[in-house]
Amino acid sequence: MKGSTINIGSFELILAMMLSGTIGYFVINSAQDFWNVVFFRCAIAAVVLGIYAYFSGVIRRGFFQPSVLIMIILGGITLVGNWVFLFASFNFIPFSIATVAYHMQPLFLVLAGTLIAKEKLSIGLVFWLLMAFVGLFLMTELNWNDMRQLWVEESTETSSVAFWGLLLALGAAILYTVTTMITKQVSKVPSTFVALVQVMVGIVMLLPFADFNNLPTQTSQWLDLLILGAVLTGFMYIIMYDSFQKLPTSLIALLSFIYPITALVVDHLAFATHICQLQILGVILILLAVSAVKFNWTISSYLMILKKRDSKEQSASNQTTKES
C-alpha cells in the first residue's frame, strides 16, 4: 500500500511540476501586470475550487478547528509571499541567476525534512541532489561574466541591487519550503480544502495591489488568465498538495527539478529559443538524479552498472578484434 501511495504521489507531483513549467507562457501571453496576474490567478482558482469542494463534500466543520485553520492560512501567506518574492527578484537580477537561487528549494526541503520530519539524510541522496544542481546550472546557461560584473566589477550600488535580488529569490525558495512542510503537517485535510483556503488568503493579500483600470482587453488574454487560475492553480494545487501529503521530502525535492525542465521545453516550443548540448546534458543529469531517488538507487549500484557496461563494451571490442 505504501509503495502504491508513493507511486500515485510521484505521478501527481510530476504532472504538477510539468504544469508549473507552462505558467511563464500564459503569464507572458496575458500581457498583464504581475499583481493582476497573481490576483486573478487566486480569484479564478477560488471560484473553481469552491464549486468543486462544495459538490465533492470536502468542506466539513472539523476542518475549521482553529489549530488546523491557522496552519492552512499561514501556508497561504507563505505561498503568496513565495510568488511575490520570486517575481520581484526578476527586477534586480538576471532570470538565470534568479532561477538557480530559487531552485535552492530542494536543498532547503531536504534540510527541513532532516531537521523537522527526522527523515534520514544519506550520502546517496546528497550525491543525487548535487547532480541535479549541476544539471540545473547547465540548463540555465549561467553567464559567469555577467555574474562577475554584477558582484565584482560594477559599482557598489549595482552590487547592492544584485544582493537584494538574490535575497528575494532565496526568500521565495524558503517560503516555498515552509508552504510544503505546512501542507505535510495537515495531511488529514483534503488538498482541495487546503488549496481553497490558501487562494482565498491570496485574494485578501493581493486585492490592494490589483490594477482594475488596466484589465485585459482581448478574449485571448482572459483565456490565459482563466487557464492560469482554473488549471495551473486550482487543479495543479489539488494534485500537488495531495502529493506533498504522500511523499517524503527528499523525493519532493528531486521531483521539483521537473519544473525547470518543462519550462525549458516550453520556451523552445513557444518562443523558438535554442536548446544547446549542455542544456540537454543538464536535463539528462536531472532526470538521472530523479530516477535514482525514485527507484532507490545507491551510488555503489550505479557504479556497478557503469562497470558492467564498460565490461560488456570491452568484451565486444575484444570479440571484434579476434574476428578481425
Domain containing residue 259: 2-323
* Residue 73 reports pLDDT greater than 70: yes
Check: pTM over 0.75? Answer yes or no. Answer: yes
Q: Which residues, other chains included, contact 56 with Cβ-Cβ below 8 Å and sequence gap of 6+? A: 192
Residue 304, pLDDT score:
62
268: left (phi over 0), alpha (psi -120 to 50) or beta: alpha
Burial of 39 (0-12, 13-18, 19+ CB in 10 A): buried
Q: What is the DSSP secondary structure assignment for residue 3, as one 8-state letter? A: H
Do you know the residue count of the chain? Answer: 324
Given this model, what pLDDT does residue 186 score? 86
* Residue 2 banded pLDDT, cuts 50, 70, 90: low
pLDDT band at 305 (very low <50, low <70, confident <90, very high): low
Q: How far apart are the first and last CA of the chain?
A: 55
pLDDT higher than threshold 60 for residue 252 = yes
C-alpha cell recorded at residue 113: 525534512
pLDDT above 70 as % of the chain = 85
Count of C-beta atoms within a 10 Å radius of residue 137: 16
| Separation of alpha carbons 224 and 32, rounded Å | 10
Neighbour count for residue 51 (Cβ, 10 Å): 12
Angle at 9 between CA 8 and CA 12, to 5 degrees: 90
Q: How far apart are alpha carbons 155 and 143 in whole angstroms?
A: 19
DSSP state of 151: I
Question: What span, in angstroms and rounded, lies between the C-alpha atoms of 37 and 33?
Answer: 6
Is the Cα dihedral 63, 243, 51, 23 positive or negative? positive
CA dist 191 and 179 (Å) reads 13
Dihedral sign (CA 306, 309, 315, 320) = negative
| Number of domains forming the structure of the chain | 1
pLDDT of the residue at 258: 92
- List b or e across 231-268, with b for residues whose CB sees 16 or more CB atoms inside 10 angstroms: bbbbbbbbbbbbbbbbbbbbbbbbbbbbbbbbbbbbbe
Residues 6 or more apart whose Cβ sits within 8 Å of residue 222:
216
- 145 versus 212: which is more confidently predicted? 212
Is the separation of the CB atoms in 213 and 142 below 8 Å? no
Mean pLDDT score of the chain = 84
pLDDT tens per residue across span 254-283 = 999 999 899 888 888 887 888 889 899 999
Q: Which pLDDT score, from 0 to 100, does residue 173 have? A: 92
Report the candidate in 202, 41, 175, 33 with the shortest Cα–Cα distance to residue 102: 175
Residue with cell 480569484: 43
Q: What is the pLDDT of residues 184-224, one digit of tens each?
A: 888 888 889 999 999 999 999 999 999 999 898 899 999 99
Report whether pLDDT(139) > 90: no
pLDDT band at 1 (very low <50, low <70, confident <90, very high): very low
Apex CA 248: angle with CA 246 and CA 249, to 5°? Answer: 120
Per-residue pLDDT at 154 exceeds 60: no
3-class secondary structure, 180: helix
State the cell numbers at 9.
Answer: 504521489
316 or 199: which leads in pLDDT: 199
Quote the cell numbers at residue 213. 483600470
Which residues, 6 or more positions from 273, have their beta carbon under 8 angstroms from its beta carbon? 267
